[in-house]
Amino acid sequence: MKTISENRCFGGTQGVYSHSSTSCNCDMTFGLFLPEESAYGPVPVLWFLSGLTCTHENVMTKAGAQAWAAEHGIALVFPDTSPRGEDVPDDNAYDLGQGAGFYIDATQAPWAQHFKMWTYIAEELPGLLGDSFPLDMERQSICGHSMGGHGALTMAMALPGRFRSVSAFAPICNPTQSDWGRKQFTAYWGADESKWGPHDATLLMQGPGFDGPLLIDTGTDDQFGDLLGTEAFAAAMATKRQPGTLRLQKGYDHSYFFIATFMEDHVAFHADALYT
């Protein structure tokens, strides 16, 4: 593992690291904020999965999450959104290829060799983090934005017992019924929808749901609102009798200004679960 940078931040350290990924067959980069408490022992972990076109850096520099994580003594993990590099396939569209991994494992050419983001986030990166940093991997929670909200919700439900809480900002909730989902699933998995797997938060909510606290914020002025499937997910929550909170925030859009506004709420929400 290579240290790209380490900076003092709210009493702790904001680092950026890279490593050779066996699941993605390329070098991967991630950010990690360690609070001051990590100098004295392992601390709980909050994952943040970012959205389309983002890298590890967007939320790390724009959301102000470190201030609130430092207050609660929580580590923050900021993974990249896809494999990258000259040998990694890409597409001219912003919503496919590099920057658009959708947190799934591709099976179709040319994507299958590198685009294994589910395995990377669910298996490889947690193992690396647990071996390399003072993190309590028995206490994990997960959050995400947009495409990353899709990843956070699906991982929380499909990996029971892994995460103590889950939250999302403007998540893609019903990708099998949205242009943000059907396009990527077809490319990465092929046209046979029976092979798309349980990677739709609405369908997962109709099944196992989530055994823990859940929080979602979506802006009423989100410019991508028709692609998110918020209503379908809310209906699935109601039918399931899923404990949780879904808030429609008046006047907010899809931007990082929206995320920064409510980040304190989300970190405190996860802190309650991580320290219970």
Q: Would you name the residues annotated as active-site residues?
A: 146, 222, 254
Please work out, in degrees rounded to the nearest 5, the angle formed at the alpha carbon of residue 233 by the alpha carbons of 187 and 163.
85
Q: At which residue do the structure tokens 């679960």 appear?
A: 273
Amino acid at 254: H
Alpha-carbon span 54 to 68, nearest angstrom: 22
Q: What is the CA radius of gyration of the chain?
A: 17
* Pairing relationship of beta strands 135-145 and 214-219 according to DSSP bridges: unpaired
Q: Which residues of 129-152 are buried (b: 16+ CB within 10 A; e: fewer)?
A: beeebebeeebbbbbbbbbbbbbb
- Burial of 110: CB neighbours in 10 Å, binned 0-12, 13-18, 19+: middle
Question: Residue 128 has which token pair?
Answer: 């690396």
